[in-house]
């Protein structure tokens, strides 16, 4: 190690908090420690720029290349001439909005390398991971031909990896970003198949690493593919779309017919997305990670007071299949007024009109069966907001008119669907629509979307994202949902909120489940569904089933609607990837706790020390004694608890447990 590096580490050891600069023309190796000194990031600037990461004495990332290739052949990062380096220590906090906690600690050490040629790289070491990003300081615009983002590993580790297996139009970069996880060795990952982040790697001594990205703006998203040599993953990026045609579901999509030989055209002076590796010593740590939120750009909405997260009564999943009414149920005014009555009765903040309320090709043509103003006014009289579904292409074609018109009518938000891409042009749509919607005080739920990368912090009117294989899939699929449900909190949820749409009131065990479109059921127990409202992060959270079923199950419905969608504090209690998870969240003076298991029946011991001082009552929903035969079976009870208690919880196969814990009177 060079003497300058020893001096750098010594300064960290002294806890000095001021920035300093090292002129490093001769020094081509740099090291950065996390604030707790557990993580060590090393950068080597030679013929290739490479970075590596250790957690304690164990290798997380072996030396891996990073570079940006520009049109014309210039490669930023290869044979880089470092002109200066600057290291700083940051210890601050973020006041979060519409998140799983109100205060996010933001502590890291940062290394900035400035390079000859108007570019540089920023590296950060947190106590729970690392990140890096390129930046450029050039006057003219840039064409990025490709990016080299390597993640090399020492051994043939097991990974949880979701393949792109539903490519549209024979274009591997057009996908719904939904799939189950393959749990396989790196060497067994298909060489010719793309996967989408986040991806989890299992390391020695139960450590885990999750690869994803943050602050994606004016740039394509990162897919991952195995390298032809060694145990490695490398970033792949969608080329820029040059020609598109209207196609797909009801012609709501734009299929790419021709792509460019570059991935982005962009400003010459800018910061590029963060490449990040989240590192955990235990599985449980992954259940409460803030890395993507911390790396995102701060809010661009000056006054967010109009942004109101909450729940929504949803129509599409249950196929408008209400009964015991005196009108023909369907996409019509009477049905939605009925949904409003249901929402008002249970203090659900919103209803959603999904596909069918407007012409599929013209978002401004409302079907004759719908009197939208009457529905909105009726909702307003009942203190229930109205959201609208829309395909992204019709909304993009008439963005200003649609937002202006429907905001004046009184619409609270849009659920936008079928983007199914993350090339630069589509990423630009996400930001452009978020900004325009904010100008009209419209909230957004990006369905048919790539995973979140922090847009929800930058534009907090964006409440939710799909990019997850949600409950809608039970309408046509027999795959293992309890397994998936106990996997995504450790991987996909790290990226941000999930539009999973839980709340099924017909619950089946493994043997009795059937995929049915009009009267769908869930895999697993009722309490498995209830727990999702605590475990899954979702500021805009749907009740997927129909009002008839909810009113038949008033006890469960009251519990669901009592759970907030954003929280002041989150505590990860217990868990193991793909097996089970347990999370506690607090809002004001009330705690909400959820646990779920895969198809394996499970007993866990729940430590209530997070409650703190005082005496509490817990309203508990637990799997009934016959839940293994009939998933609907559950038991509700109210018990006295304190922070000294450890509750023994039994979950049936595909089961769950949920509780609301409040101060005893």
Topology of the domain comprising 3-295: Beta-galactosidase; Chain A, domain 5 (2.70.98)
Calpha distance 596→419 (Å, rounded): 31
Tell how many helices (H) and how many strands (E) occur in the chain: 13, 42
Q: What is the CATH number of domain 310-568?
A: 3.20.20.70
The two three-digit tokens of residue 30, written as one number: 């740099």
Pairing of strands 507-508, 522-523: parallel
Residue owning tokens 């010719």: 192
- pLDDT tens digits, residue range 334-390? 999 999 999 999 999 999 999 999 999 999 999 999 999 999 999 999 999 999 999
Catalytic residue among 417, 445, 541, 623: 417
Calpha distance 363→393 (Å, rounded): 9
The two three-digit tokens of residue 16, written as one number: 């000095």
> What does the pLDDT read at residue 25?
43
Concerning whether 472 is annotated as a catalytic residue, the answer is: yes
The two three-digit tokens of residue 312, written as one number: 């929504």
pTM as predicted: 0.95
Concerning whether 417 is annotated as a catalytic residue, the answer is: yes
Catalytic residue among 283, 290, 466, 472: 472
> 61 pairs with which residues across the strands?
53
**Contact indicator for 87, 124 with CB cutoff of 8 Å:** no
Calpha distance 426→264 (Å, rounded): 12
Distances (CA, A) of 342 to 320, 336, 381, 384: 13, 10, 13, 10
Calpha distance 33→89 (Å, rounded): 10
> 616 pairs with which residues across the strands?
641, 663
Burial grade of 89 (CB within 10 A; 0-12, 13-18, 19 or more): middle
Calpha distance 595→584 (Å, rounded): 9
**Contact indicator for 314, 544 with CB cutoff of 8 Å:** yes
Q: Could you give the residue range(s) of every CATH 3.20.20.70 domain in the chain?
A: 310-568
DSSP symbol at 288: G
Calpha distance 227→233 (Å, rounded): 6
Contacts of 243 (CB under 8 A, 6+ apart): 256, 257, 258
Question: Which residues in the chain come in under a pLDDT of 70?
Answer: 1-27
Can you spell out the DSSP letters for 159-197? EEE-B----BTTBTTB--S--PPEEEEGGGS-TT--EES
> What does the pLDDT read at residue 252?
92
The two three-digit tokens of residue 44, written as one number: 């080597």
> What does the pLDDT read at residue 27?
52
> What does the pLDDT read at residue 469?
98
> What does the pLDDT read at residue 22?
39
Q: Could you give the residue range(s) of every CATH 2.70.98.10 domain in the chain?
A: 3-295
> What does the pLDDT read at residue 168?
87
């Amino acid at each position: 190690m060079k003497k300058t590096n020893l001096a750098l580490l010594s300064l960290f050891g002294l806890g000095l908090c001021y920035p300093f600069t090292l002129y490093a023309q001769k020094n081509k190796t740099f090291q950065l420690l996390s604030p707790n000194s557990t993580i060590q990031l090393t950068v080597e600037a030679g013929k290739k720029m490479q970075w590596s990461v250790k957690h304690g004495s164990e290798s997380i990332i072996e030396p891996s290349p990073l570079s940006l290739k520009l049109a014309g052949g210039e490669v930023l990062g290869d044979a880089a001439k470092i002109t200066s380096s600057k290291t700083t220590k940051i210890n601050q906090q973020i006041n979060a909005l519409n998140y799983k906690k109100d205060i996010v600690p933001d502590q890291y050490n940062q290394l900035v390398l400035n390079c000859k040629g108007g570019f540089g790289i920023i590296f950060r070491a947190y106590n729970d991971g690392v990140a890096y990003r390129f930046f450029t300081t050039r006057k003219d615009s840039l064409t990025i031909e490709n990016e080299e983002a390597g993640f090399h590993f020492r051994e043939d580790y097991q990974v949880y990896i979701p393949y792109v297996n539903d490519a549209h139009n024979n274009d591997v970069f057009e996908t719904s970003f939904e799939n189950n996880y393959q749990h396989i060795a790196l060497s067994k990952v298909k060489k010719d198949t793309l996967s989408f982040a986040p991806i989890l790697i299992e390391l020695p001594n139960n450590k885990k690493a999750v690869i994803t990205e943050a602050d994606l703006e004016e740039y394509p998203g990162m897919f991952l593919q195995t390298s032809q040599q060694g145990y490695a993953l490398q970033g792949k990026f969608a080329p820029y779309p040059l020609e598109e045609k209207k196609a797909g579901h009801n012609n709501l999509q734009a299929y790419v017919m021709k792509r460019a030989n570059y991935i982005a055209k962009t400003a010459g002076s800018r910061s590029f997305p963060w490449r990040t590796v989240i590192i955990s010593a235990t599985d449980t740590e992954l259940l409460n990670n803030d890395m993507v939120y911390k790396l995102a750009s701060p809010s661009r909405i000056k006054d967010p007071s109009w942004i109101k997260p909450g729940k929504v009564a949803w129509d599409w999943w249950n196929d408008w299949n209400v009964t015991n009414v005196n009108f023909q149920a369907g996409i019509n005014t009477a049905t939605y007024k009925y949904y409003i009555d249901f929402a008002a009765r249970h203090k659900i903040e919103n209803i959603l009109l999904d596909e069918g309320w407007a012409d599929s090709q013209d978002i401004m043509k409302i079907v004759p069966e719908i009197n939208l103003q009457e529905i909105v006014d009726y909702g307003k009289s009942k203190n229930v907001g109205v959201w609208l579904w829309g395909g992204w292409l019709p909304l993009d074609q008439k963005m200003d008119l649609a937002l202006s018109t429907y905001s004046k009518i009184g619409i609270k938000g849009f659920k936008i669907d079928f983007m199914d891409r993350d090339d630069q042009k589509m990423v630009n749509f996400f930001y452009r629509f978020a900004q325009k919607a904010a100008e009209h005080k419209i909230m957004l739920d990006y369905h048919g979307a790539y995973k979140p990368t922090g847009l929800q912090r930058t534009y907090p009117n964006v409440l939710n994202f799909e990019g997850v294989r949600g409950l809608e899939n039970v309408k046509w699929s027999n795959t293992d949902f309890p397994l998936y449900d106990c996997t995504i909190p450790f991987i996909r949820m790290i990226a941000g909120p999930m539009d999973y749409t839980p709340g099924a009131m017909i619950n089946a065990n493994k043997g009795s489940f059937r995929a049915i479109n009009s009267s769908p059921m869930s895999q697993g127990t009722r309490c498995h569904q209830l727990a999702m409202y605590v475990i899954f992060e979702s500021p805009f959270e749907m009740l997927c089933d129909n009002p008839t079923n909810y009113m038949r199950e008033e006890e469960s419905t009251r519990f669901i609607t009592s759970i907030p969608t954003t929280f002041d504090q989150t505590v990860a209690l217990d868990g193991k990837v793909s097996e089970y998870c347990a999370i506690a969240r607090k809002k004001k003076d009330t705690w909400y706790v959820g646990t779920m298991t895969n198809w394996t029946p499970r007993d866990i011991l729940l430590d209530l020390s997070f409650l703190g001082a005082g005496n509490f009552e817990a309203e508990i929903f637990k799997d009934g004694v016959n839940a293994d035969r009939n998933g609907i079976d559950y038991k509700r009870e109210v018990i006295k608890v304190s922070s000294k208690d450890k509750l023994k919880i039994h979950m049936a196969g595909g089961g769950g447990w949920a509780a609301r814990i409040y101060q005893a009177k």
